[in-house]
Amino acid sequence: MEVSRRKEKDFSPGIRILLSFTVVTGLCYILFMEVRDIKNIAERYGITMVYLFGSRTDEGSRFLKGEDVRPGALSDLDVAVAFEKPPSETMRVYGLLYKEISKLFDPFEIDLLFMHEHDAIFQYEIIKGVRIFEKDTDSADEFEEIIMKRAEDLIFKKRLLNREIMEAIEDGYFEFEYSPNP
């Protein structure tokens, strides 16, 4: 049985984010082995969520479903993790996690990111990908909603700042001089 769900969230006029997901009962979205391995890794490192994102998201998802996927040579698989509490020994944890997660996604080259090290706009790009693990679904949904709100706030502030800069330029507060390189 397949159940599709849609969740719409309005943040401000003109910005609507549609979350769409499908729950398939009786079928495993991710192979049992990878689920168990990801869960074990997450428990050992205090990870609450793992995402695939970027240009290779679909290939990574298909790989986890057990499909035969041939990774391209020009791009890596982007993997992001969110921690309950950021690790105190970031570099050591990064190295250990990279090694373990690389084994799960072999033959893909991976790019591992810690979500707490990035701003809300980049985190929003991450959550637009595929969540492949969450410790708690409700907490993960709340986490994503907070990221969406923060990203929308930053985008609004960036647009406002850009508008103010353009007005200052038009009003003559800044002068620009152009000289081509010889």
pLDDT in tens, 100-115: 999 998 889 999 999 9
CA distance from start to end of the chain = 68
Does 65 reside within a domain? yes
Q: Are 138 and 58 in contact (CB under 8 A)?
A: no
For residues 24 and 78, which has the higher predicted lDDT (pLDDT)?
78
**Least confident among 14-18, 103-107, 129-133:** 14-18
Rounded to an integer, the average pLDDT of 117-131 is 95
Q: Which residues contact 75 (CB under 8 A, 6 or more apart)?
A: 54, 55, 56
Q: Which residues contact 136 (CB under 8 A, 6 or more apart)?
A: 48
State which amino acid sits at residue 36: R
Could you tell me which residues are beta bridge partners of residue 49? 82, 134
Range of the domain at 88: 30-170
Tens digits of per-residue pLDDT, 63-87? Answer: 888 888 888 777 799 999 999 999 9
Does 10 reside within a domain? no
Tens digits of per-residue pLDDT, 157-173? Answer: 889 988 988 888 888 88
Does 116 reside within a domain? yes
Rounded to an integer, the average pLDDT of 124-146 is 95
Structurally, how many domains does the chain consist of?
1
For residues 21 and 52, which has the higher predicted lDDT (pLDDT)?
52
Does 133 reside within a domain? yes
Does 177 reside within a domain? no
Q: How far is CA 142 from CA 6, 91, 105, in A?
A: 16, 28, 28
Does 142 reside within a domain? yes
| φ and ψ of 157, to 5 deg | -65, -35
Report the residue count for the chain: 182
Does 178 reside within a domain? no
For residues 123 and 31, which has the higher predicted lDDT (pLDDT)?
123
**Element (DSSP H or E) covering residue 123:** helix 120-127
CATH code, domain with 109: 3.30.460.10
Does 4 reside within a domain? no
State which amino acid sits at residue 99: K
